[in-house]
């Protein structure tokens, strides 16, 4: 999957996983329950969830995107459906349930753009492998699962079965994870790793998964567990890539104004996948991913600043490190 493809390459991605309504509050420098009311500059509603963030970003980068997830039969769910309609994401695979409300997240953002999440899983907790229709899988070139560790019915063997089926059909497989609040880390995702073409955890997540402290060692550990290609996201330091063919390498992040880091990792993943599906080599994909993330963090919200592909390429060519 690392070779250059021709101009006629398809760019169809099936995104499976976490979706949320984000309530963004800025700035929040701390919490003091001794006071009754505090003024803030902004409170707004936006789409969120690791998987939907990637889906929105991929669409903006020129890919065709289908989404599988689960929301409640409530106004939050209506809002997220409207976002997918407006963005042009195929949401035939989105399921609505009366058994739980839509996942909602309060995102507290400080003046430096750092954020903390208050998470209610809701309908995400009911998403399972049976919710993925075979027809959607057949029509995809790539399958991405986002939100692992917060998808209890899909995590582990459920996602592994999906990846196994996708690979048997010649699809590119990829996964990202979120923070494991249960502390199980490797044991949860171990069944998935041998079926992944690309795995893209953050450095903090990879450290917990592998027990290693250097990106190269983290990537080597994951390669030893069966992953074909590994990308370790290093935040403001860029990323480390261990491709299937060739030695590992680091790519520095682009300098950028930081307004809100919510969705930075998700926009990075979308940029990397958008490059892969165009047949770009891993190093160029890494530069594109860093550019997309650098532009995205200039605005408040998980996907508000995601550029078009041309905007990202122009940024790569014009901005120096």
**β-pairing verdict for 172-177 and 12-17:** unpaired
The answer to whether the bond into 145 is cis (omega within 30° of 0) is no
Structure tokens at 280: 């770009």
- Ranges of beta strands (E only) in the chain are 12-17, 20-26, 42-48, 64-72, 90-97, 104-109, 115-120, 142-148, 172-177, 198-199, 229-233, 239-242, 249-251
Q: What is the CA radius of gyration of the chain?
A: 18
Question: Which residues have a Cβ under 8 Å from the Cβ of 86 and sit 6 or more positions away?
Answer: none
CB-count burial class (<10 Å; 0-12, 13-18, 19+) for 216:
middle
Q: For the whole model, what pTM was predicted?
A: 0.92
At 112 the pLDDT is 84
CB 269 within 8 A of CB 239: no
Long-range contacts of 27-31 (CB under 8 A, 24+ apart): 27/109, 27/110, 27/111, 28/108, 28/109, 28/110, 28/116, 29/110, 29/111
Specify the fold of 12-30+42-318. 3.40.1190
Q: Which residue's structure tokens are 């979308």?
A: 270
What is the CB-side half-sphere exposure of residue 110 using CA atoms within 13 A? 7
Query: For residue 307, what is the DSSP state?
Result: P
User: 106-135 burial, b if ≥16 CB within 10 A, otherwise e?
Assistant: ebbbeeebebeeebebbbbbbbebebbeee
- Each residue's pLDDT expressed in tens, for the chain with a length of 321 residues: 443 433 345 789 999 999 999 998 988 888 777 777 888 888 999 999 999 999 999 999 999 999 999 999 999 999 999 999 999 999 999 999 999 999 999 989 888 888 888 999 999 999 999 999 989 999 999 999 999 999 999 999 999 999 999 999 999 999 999 999 999 999 999 999 999 999 999 999 999 999 999 999 999 999 999 999 999 999 999 999 999 988 999 999 998 888 888 889 999 999 999 999 999 999 999 999 999 999 999 998 878 899 999 999 999 988 754
**β-pairing verdict for 172-177 and 104-109:** unpaired
For helices 282-296 and 264-277, give the axis angle rounded to 10 degrees: 140
Cα separation values, 172 from 13, 245, 279, Å: 9, 16, 12
């Amino acid at each position: 999957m690392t070779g250059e493809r021709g101009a006629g390459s398809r760019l169809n991605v099936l995104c499976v996983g976490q979706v949320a309504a984000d309530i963004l509050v800025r700035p929040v420098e701390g919490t003091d329950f001794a006071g009754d009311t505090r003024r803030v500059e902004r409170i707004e509603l936006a789409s969120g969830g690791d998987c939907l963030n990637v889906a929105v970003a991929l669409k903006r980068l020129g890919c065709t995107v289908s989404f599988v997830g689960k929301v409640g039969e409530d106004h939050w769910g209506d809002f997220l459906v409207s976002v997918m309609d407006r963005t042009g994401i195929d949401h035939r695979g989105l399921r609505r349930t009366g058994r739980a409300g839509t996942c909602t997240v309060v995102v507290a953002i400080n003046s430096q753009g750092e954020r903390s999440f208050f998470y209610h899983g809701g309908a995400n907790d009911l998403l399972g492998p049976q919710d993925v229709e075979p027809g959607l899988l057949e029509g995809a070139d790539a399958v991405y699962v986002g939100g692992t560790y917060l998808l209890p019915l899909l995590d582990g063997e459920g996602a592994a079965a999906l990846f196994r089926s996708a690979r048997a059909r010649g699809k590119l497989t990829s996964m990202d994870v979120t923070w494991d609040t249960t502390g199980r880390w490797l044991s949860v995702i171990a069944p998935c790793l041998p079926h992944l073409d690309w795995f893209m955890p953050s450095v903090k997540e990879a450290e917990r998964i592998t027990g290693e402290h250097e990106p190269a060692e983290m990537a080597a550990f994951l390669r030893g567990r069966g992953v074909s290609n590994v990308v370790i996201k290093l935040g403001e330091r860029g990323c480390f890539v261990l491709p299937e063919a060739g030695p590992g390498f680091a790519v520095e992040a682009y300098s950028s104004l930081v307004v809100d880091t919510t969705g930075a990792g998700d926009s990075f993943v979308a940029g990397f996948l958008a490059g892969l599906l165009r047949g770009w080599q891993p190093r160029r994909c890494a530069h594109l991913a860093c550019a997309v993330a650098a532009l995205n963090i200039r605005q408040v919200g998980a996907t508000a600043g995601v550029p078009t592909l041309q905007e990202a390429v122009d940024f790569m060519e014009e901005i120096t490190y």
